[in-house]
Amino acid sequence: MAVINRTPDSFFDHGTTYELGAALAAADRAVADGADILDIGGVRAGPGEHVSVAEEVRRVAGLVAAVRAQHPGVVISVDTWRAEVGEAVARAGADLLNDAWGGADPALAQVAAAYGLGLVCSHAGGLAPRTRPHRPAYADVVAEVRDHVTAEAERAVAAGVRPDGIVIDPAHDFGKNTWQSLQLTRRTADLVATGWPVLVAVSNKDFVGETLDLPVQERAEGTLAALAVCAWEGARLFRVHDVPAARDALAAVAALRTSEEVAALRPAGGAGSAGGAGSAGAAGSAGAAGSGGGGGAAAGTRGSGRPRT
């Protein structure tokens, strides 16, 4: 899942892809680099200048329509918590609504249901959109996140969202400190065990930067390490800024997992090559790295979030 920001104040690219032409070119590059999903956003997740519904629609709806026309087979996700924006991008050709704010607008699920779109159900610790946490505390952050996202997923199904279009996201850094985001990373398998496909959005985030004491532009290696751990634990979708590097890392995880699993099943002295099995695993899409399956979000599309964004 490649990040395409139509924001003038993105924490990562600082508005490089704000203009429509630049955003469309970034989408073209991401698809050429192997992205299965494009996640288009029109509002910086962190605090900043107010962006009205009309302005958010202006930023994202036209881009969605242009990407749909240019790349009819790609899955288009839109990063928004607002139902009005969800309806506009659904009409423009979006497939998935990526709500990083934990269901702040319950009507968003109704929009997903009405248009047959997929929906990302996340955990933001009860924060209002575009706010930062202050000393977040949980008795067990993984249990809290698991319970919230599964409840949101069940609520979405009750609202009419297709079950095969639902994805859960722990939302690293949203309503969480660095220790809590690290705990969610190392225990991704606890979320995978719910049965819902897990999306992780760890790319260049603050928990990576604080762990390594590095600024935003120097977090590439830490990002890949976090992605690899989440993939090994079974995550299915990976929201990233650097598509080629992420695909390489996830292909390596797929090969390692497949080699280990095949080796465990092979009789002593039996024929066959673990390396060959690993290569077959790596040949799949990036979404296959975590669990041997395809893109979870794509299943809910017509083609079949963070204090920072």
Q: Which of the residues are catalytic?
A: 205, 239
Three-state secondary-structure class, residue 193:
coil
Structural element, H or E, at residue 221: helix 220-233
Bridge partners of 118, per DSSP, are 96
The dihedral built from the CA positions of residue 60, 66, 95 and 287, taken in this order, carries a sign that is negative
Residues in the chain: 309
> For residues 45 and 100, is the Cβ–Cβ distance under 8 A?
yes
Q: Give the integer Cα–Cα distance in Å for 203 and 220.
A: 8
Q: Give the integer Cα–Cα distance in Å for 4 and 296.
A: 20
Structural element, H or E, at residue 260: helix 243-265
Q: Give the integer Cα–Cα distance in Å for 27 and 226.
A: 24
